[in-house]
Structure 1
């Protein structure tokens, strides 16, 4: 007996329904999941080699076009890295795709009083303040010549009216490195990258803002070493105040 499925104006024979379910898009999505599961199942780590395209087709039972489309998507997500002439490898699985999406989102409505950029900065402030307690517990009475040098370099640059973007990044990364949860570190680095990439849209910062930012970083470190969570949160507020003012 012939069975048909009535989908509004289209009447599809029952035998053709399975073909629709196995559309190229669905196959590619299935292949993406299969490749990710293969990486997890075989215990591959960042930088490890993946099977060749032909091997993946055979092992996963999918077409070459599905593998190629899946790999393109996984490369964009930084899960797979293609090295031409060498093969495919497990990617860095970084926060880069999220960073790029957030940066683009922040740029979408430049005439909207920088609403998208303010949202990003406010999320970063919330994360920094949420980490205040573990940071102050970890850094209480902790000595570290590297972070001291970073803060000193910030002071020098600020006094000269120079930006200290790299020192800013290193400061926040170094502050979170001793924490047990490294996801905090990766998220902070991602949000730092987002707002650092978008800040140039505001024009050159005022010299007094750079001096204020340098002082705020020093105060954050002092509060952390004193184990003073409240003072640390207040220093975070001072740190971001000039940026929020510019975005407003």
Structure 2
């Protein structure tokens, strides 16, 4: 016998899938207006309450966008739910075994060491001047004992612009932003600002040098200080 709550949950998931299928079948693009609530109720053979619950669930996932007084629209791609979830679990990780933070750093390292090779193939489109300015800012700030997260992100954002892949840029921004939120709570190495600036200078130098192996190695070395700081957090 199916438990009532389990049955209701399964019905909700089925309804959410039906709404997503309707969007795909009709070829509705991000920003397109969905049918009215009455039309959806009729087409999906569902009552108002479960339909609204399904719409709210899809809104939380960024699949639809409810604009009060205007209607419900197909949502635009967003990593906000992912960023919120990763940030929460990373903060929890600081008080646990650090697995989530370590996993986050590992994913970003694997992603970036692979992507820089592709950037090298598009080197003519690289904004070397902006990369140089970002590194120079980090070096000036480091000389005064300060770390510049704005210059750090500007460097990474600019580095991958030649790929012309907004999805990569958005995903890296999420990983970078989540780590930046817990960064201040990790133990500091004595040369933290200097080490960060030097790591970015090495990446830029390798990019100018044009050797893909040297460039990938420089990017991997960039994460050495981060791994060292994570290793210093007392395990609970």
TM-score by length of 1: 0.79
Q: Residue 197 of structure 2 is aligned with which of 214, 219, 222?
A: 214
**Residue 89 of structure 1: SS of its match in structure 2?**
strand
- Across the aligned residues of Structure 1 and Structure 2, the Cα RMSD in angstroms comes to 2.8
Deviation at 1:85, TM superposition (A): 2.9
Deviation at 1:22, TM superposition (A): 10
Deviation at 1:62, TM superposition (A): 1.8
Distance in 2, matches of 1:225 and 1:139, equals: 9
What's the counterpart of residue 136 of structure 1? 120
Change beyond 3 A, Cα 1:212–1:22: closer
**Residue 35 of structure 1: SS of its match in structure 2?**
helix
- Alpha-carbon displacement from aligned partner over 1:183-220 (angstroms, at most 9, x marks no partner): 433332222122122223226x4562112212211221
1:112 and 2:96 matched: yes
Change beyond 3 A, Cα 1:215–1:58: same
In terms of Rg, which structure is larger?
1
Change beyond 3 A, Cα 1:64–1:155: same
TM-score by length of 2: 0.83
For structure 2, list consecutive stretches of 5 or more residues without a partner in the other structure: 232-236
The worse-fitting range, judged by mean Cα deviation, of 234-243 and 117-126 is 234-243
Distance in 2, matches of 1:223 and 1:122, equals: 22
The worse-fitting range, judged by mean Cα deviation, of 224-233 and 175-184 is 175-184
Alignment of 1:98-177 (within 5 A): 98-139=82-123, 142-177=126-161
Which has the bigger relative contact order, CA under 8 A and spacing at least 6?
Answer: 2
**Residue 191 of structure 2: SS of its match in structure 1?**
helix
- Aligned 8 A contact 1:77 1:93 in 2: no
**Residue 88 of structure 1: SS of its match in structure 2?**
strand
Change beyond 3 A, Cα 1:188–1:206: same
What's the counterpart of residue 229 of structure 1? 212
Distance in 2, matches of 1:24 and 1:90, equals: 25
For structure 1, list consecutive stretches of 5 or more residues without a partner in the other structure: 1-6, 8-16
